[in-house]
Amino acid sequence: MAEDDAALVARAREDPEAFGLLYERYVDKIYAYLYYRTGSREDAEDLTARTFYRALDNLHRYQERGLPFSAWLYRIAHNLMANWHRYNSRHPQVSLEALRLTDHQGRDPERAVERNEAREVVLEAIRSLPPDRQQLLILKFVEQMSNEEIGQVMGRSEGAVKSLYHRTLVALRRELQARGFPFLDLEKPKDESQ
């Protein structure tokens, strides 16, 4: 049976190999979270590395007390993301992937759909949401977390997460409509009465 996180963390304070196991367990999840937040593989790799180095540096200070190790790790990643956003807003840079995105997206959303790039349009709309809403969508859809787990990462109650999810969907729909994204009109549910 796999050792649980708490036992691994306790061991990792004295055994580097145990930290390696924690890394293996969470590297893909943290990377995916940061990839969707940044939209760039290079930045996601950079921030993933920083997240784990920071975790290693602070491991002796971490105490579970209702905050699982995974939630603690996501909080580190989230804080690094916030710093990354602040830095980027002062030193704007455009990644190659962002350039490709803008170029493909163009100004005409219908053409973007024709080029099968609806995904990029939706991702751009997600990244225009406030950070907590982006975080919620990524944790829910990419990481497949329960509301309880999301609440632990975000420091909110399950009820607050549920309510935020509803508001996030409404806001995202509005954002996509403002960008002229057509799928919401095209994809109507089948009429069961017929």
Partner 1 sequence: MKDPRILLAEEALLQDILEAQAGTLAEGGDDTFYFRLFPHLRARLAPLFSLARHLQHVLVPVHPSAQFRESLRAGLLTAARQRIPAAAAEGAAWRPQWEWIVGAAAVGSAVSIAGVAALLIRRAQQRASQDVA
Give residues in contact with partner 1 (CB under 8 A): 12-17, 19-20, 23-24, 27-28, 31-32, 35-36, 41, 44-45, 48-49, 52-53, 56-57, 59-60, 118-119, 122-123, 126, 137-138, 140-142, 144, 147, 162-163, 165-166, 169-170, 172-173, 176, 183-184, 187-190, 192
Q: At residue 108, what are phi and psi to the nearest 5 degrees? A: -110, 105
CB of 123 to partner 1, least distance (A): 6
- Cβ proximity to partner 1: between 89 and 194 the closer is 194
- Cβ proximity to partner 1: between 59 and 98 the closer is 59
Evaluate whether 20 touches 8 at the Cβ level (below 8 Å): no
Evaluate whether 109 touches 57 at the Cβ level (below 8 Å): no
Helix (H) or strand (E) holding 134: helix 131-137
Q: CA-to-CA distance for 90 and 109, rounded, in angstroms? A: 29
Q: CA-to-CA distance for 69 and 62, rounded, in angstroms? A: 8
- Cβ proximity to partner 1: between 1 and 185 the closer is 185
CB of 173 to partner 1, least distance (A): 5
- Cβ proximity to partner 1: between 66 and 189 the closer is 189
How many C-alpha atoms does 155 have within 13 Å on its Cβ side?
6
Q: What is the distance between the terminal CA atoms of the chain, rounded to a whole angstrom?
A: 52
CB of 40 to partner 1, least distance (A): 12
How many C-alpha atoms does 108 have within 13 Å on its Cβ side?
4
Q: CA-to-CA distance for 152 and 53, rounded, in angstroms? A: 22
- Cβ proximity to partner 1: between 48 and 152 the closer is 48
CB of 87 to partner 1, least distance (A): 21
- Cβ proximity to partner 1: between 57 and 90 the closer is 57
Chain centre to alpha carbon of residue 5? 21
CB of 166 to partner 1, least distance (A): 5
CB of 90 to partner 1, least distance (A): 27
